[in-house]
């Protein structure tokens, strides 16, 4: 038996499997080509979902004990200089002292909060304050661990999963969820 005859007999013997494979390949190719033509890629769909849930949100800032930097006002000014000030809304989490938090830590945190309010006032930017209990209740995060907000943000905004991959990214997740809460609850009032 020659090699050609062996291939021919093998193709004939497994013709049903080969036909199923051919049909599957044709259908897969058609679906992928259609998705590329329409432009309905996964990244586009996820970014569209973010646009729908966050509206016109451009920036989300996270805070911590060492938030204040000398060039913070300049950095904020550069980011918003091309935007219409009527479109800007600064949403700040209105936090208070927590039991067991150190005096120095609380002072630094309060100082950062005050400086951010001062920068926004000097730039004449409207400020809106959101209590942690309100946005956490909205996302079912009351009495949950700190990392739960990161997990919830990834569930709601899978597009941001790359930027929220580390445990220390929970502050970023909080900022994203606060922006989302504000947009979802207050967009009806405007």
- Summarised one tens digit per residue, pLDDT across range 42-57 is 677 777 777 777 766 6
Instruction: Look at residue 63 in the predicted model and tell me its pLDDT.
Output: 56
Domain boundaries, the chain: 3-38, 46-189
Contact 70, 174 (CB under 8 A): no
CATH code that applies to domain 46-189: 3.30.420.10
Phi, psi of 34 (to 5 degrees): -60, -40
- Give 42-69 as a DSSP string: HHHHHHHHHHHHHTT--------TT---
Residues facing 128 on adjacent strands: 91
Residue 23 has pLDDT above 90, yes or no: yes
Contact 94, 130 (CB under 8 A): yes
> CA angle, corner 115, sides to 113 and 119, nearest 5?
120
- Summarised one tens digit per residue, pLDDT across range 106-121 is 777 777 788 888 888 8
């Amino acid at each position: 038996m020659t090699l050609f005859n062996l291939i021919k007999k093998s193709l004939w013997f497994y013709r049903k499997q080969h036909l199923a494979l051919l049909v599957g390949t044709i259908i897969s190719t058609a679906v992928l080509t259609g998705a590329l033509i329409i432009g309905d890629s996964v990244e586009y769909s996820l970014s569209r979902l973010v646009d729908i849930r966050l509206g016109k949100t451009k920036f989300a800032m996270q805070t911590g004990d060492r938030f204040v930097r000398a060039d913070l006002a300049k950095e904020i000014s550069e980011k918003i200089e091309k935007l219409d000030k009527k479109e800007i809304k600064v949403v700040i989490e209105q936090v208070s002292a927590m039991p067991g938090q150190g005096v120095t830590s609380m002072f630094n945190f309060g100082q950062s909060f005050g400086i951010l309010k001062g920068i926004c006032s000097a730039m004449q930017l409207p400020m809106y304050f959101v209590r942690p209990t309100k946005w956490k209740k909205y996302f079912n995060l009351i009495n949950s661990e700190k990392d739960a907000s990161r997990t919830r943000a990834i569930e709601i905004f899978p597009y941001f999963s790359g930027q929220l991959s580390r445990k220390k990214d929970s502050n970023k997740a909080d900022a994203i969820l606060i922006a989302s809460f504000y947009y979802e609850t207050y967009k009806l009032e405007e």
